[in-house]
Amino acid sequence: MAPSLDARQDMVVVEVPKLGKEAAAKAIKEWGQPKSKITHLVFCTTSGVDMPGADYQLTKLLGLRSSVKRLMMYQQGCFAGGTVLRLAKDLAENNKGARVLVVCSEITAVTFRGPSDTHLDSLVGQALFGDGAAAIIIGSDPVPAVEKPLFELVSAAQTILPDSDGAIDGHLREVGLTFHLLKDVPGLISKNIEKSLTEAFKPLGISDWNSLFWIAHPGGPAILDQVEAKLELKPEKLRATRQVLADYGNMSSACVLFILDEMRKKSAKDGLRSTGEGLEWGVLFGFGPGLTVETVKMVTVDEVRKAQRAEGPATILAIGTSTPPNCVDQSTYPDYYFRITNSEHKVELKEKFKRMREIHDQEEIHALD
């Protein structure tokens, strides 16, 4: 039997800020500026609720100024990686000199229960979700020769997909946070994604989606496969997304920030001219409960663009990521609190899926196909 909700809460209210601190410390170190220059803090988690919140705890753990302006976001789900970028963009562009620290920290203790005949929906979550924290620093008008902009946030939008009520739901119960996912989720996303792309890039005259770099929330292999097929994307377009999903699992709000980090590091390693796989324009997608979609239009910042920039859109100035300290990566230990290895976890799930498909023909069981 899984631990009670009380026991889970006792874990996450301590560990979520601590894991967030590790990612934030890396971002601040890369940024290279005193943490006293951080003016705003946005903290996001779907792992537990407490007062004062994880934003307060992180302020104490990092030693930020007591006057830092804080925003705590609970229970947003998987689209929130795009939400925090949109909010941080608004804060940075409308508060001159602002430097916004954004932290997304997710731990699966509240959702983890293991396979169960009585909670068929939870099987999908158990197979996909993982632990991790990511942090970024965002500001407008980077200081030349001091700050190093990585990506420019040109525009951001949020929308609710039509006819998607009940596609992804999460509910807090005595057994923990339960998720309900319909098999139609991949189809709903792939059917509507081109509209979001067209609205974002038509003003630029861009309609070739392979000309963009892609940061897509890795909700699961089926979603990525259908998006790839619908938009006729080349396999390499979702390389960074699939790499993060394979290495760490679905870390909810933190995923797209991990993907940004993976992409800029691989681009540098390969000697490409920009942080976006050598390309100029890109798109970030987050999607989750609602069904809600966040679309962020981005542009990379190469040396020429740095010299040309005056006052303009907010930029990402640094990125840091962290996974639990006793976890090498998600492919080895998908849930570090319960010490279940990936191989044990998948064997048990595989047998459960096989048996349940023979007994039930419920749509939730097919969501991972």
Name the residue among 152, 123, 155, 118 with its Cα closest to residue 138.
Answer: 152
Rounded Cα distance between 170 and 289, Å, is 7
Query: Which amino acid type is present at position 53?
Result: G
Cβ pair 337, 16 in contact under 8 A: no
Interatomic CA distance for residues 320 and 248, integer angstroms: 15
Instruction: Please choose, from the candidates 271, 262, 174, 254, the residue with its C-alpha nearest in 3D space to the C-alpha of residue 213.
Output: 262
Q: Which residues make Cβ contacts (< 8 Å) with residue 265, sequence separation at least 6?
A: none
> Across-strand partners of 172?
177
Of 364, 299, 1, 309, nearest to 150 by C-alpha is: 299
Where does residue 216 rank: exposed (0-12), middle (13-18), buried (19+ CB within 10 A)?
buried
| CA atoms of 111 and 262, how far apart (whole Å) | 26
Edge-to-edge order in the sheet of strand 281-288: 69-74, 40-45, 100-106, 132-139, 315-322, 151-160, 292-300, 281-288, 213-216
Q: Is 78 a catalytic residue?
A: yes
Set 44, 78, 104, 255: catalytic member: 78
User: Which residues are identified as catalytic?
Assistant: 78
